[in-house]
Amino acid sequence: MRFAILICLALQLHGCATPSSVKATTARARRYLDSTIIEAVKFNDTPLREAVRLLGDRSAKSRPQEVQIKVLIPENYSEPNVNLELQKMSLRSAIKLLAMSVGWVYRIEDNRITVLPRR
């Protein structure tokens, strides 16, 4: 317990995120995902990174500045292509379906929404 308190204090002194600020930022990212609506988009053999970028671009006006959307592709993976049509759904649902369509997952941590391979 003492060690954890020291780590939190060190993070605060260096201007890093504290557990409560991480929770607040994660909650803000979740609200953004649930409140942002994607009207209609169709992906035909579109690389995953490009599809996620397009969703991010479509929602950029309402996205809090600190929220990031990205794709992590490990070295031993090739980037999958997406074939999917989405209509009138939350950005969270769109990212979830996009990830599921290629057998990947998405994760929300702090201010990052990340699409990555299933382990």
Domain with 88 in it: 2-117
Q: What is the pLDDT of residue 58?
A: 78
Q: What is the pLDDT of residue 65?
A: 63
Q: At 8, which CATH number? A: 3.55.50.30
The number of distinct structural domains making up the chain is 1
Report the phi/psi class of residue 89: left, alpha or beta, with left for phi > 0 and alpha for psi in -120 to 50.
beta
**pTM listed for this prediction:** 0.74
Q: What token pair was written down for 83?
A: 């074939």
Q: What is the pLDDT of residue 57?
A: 82
114 close to 106: Cβ distance less than 8 angstroms: yes
Per-residue confidence in pLDDT tens, the chain, 119 aa: 333 333 333 333 334 555 566 677 788 888 888 888 888 999 999 999 999 888 888 777 666 666 778 888 888 889 999 999 999 999 889 999 999 999 999 888 877 888 989 87
Distance (Å, whole) CA 48 – CA 53? 9
**What are the φ and ψ backbone dihedral angles of 65, each rounded to 5 degrees?**
-55, -35
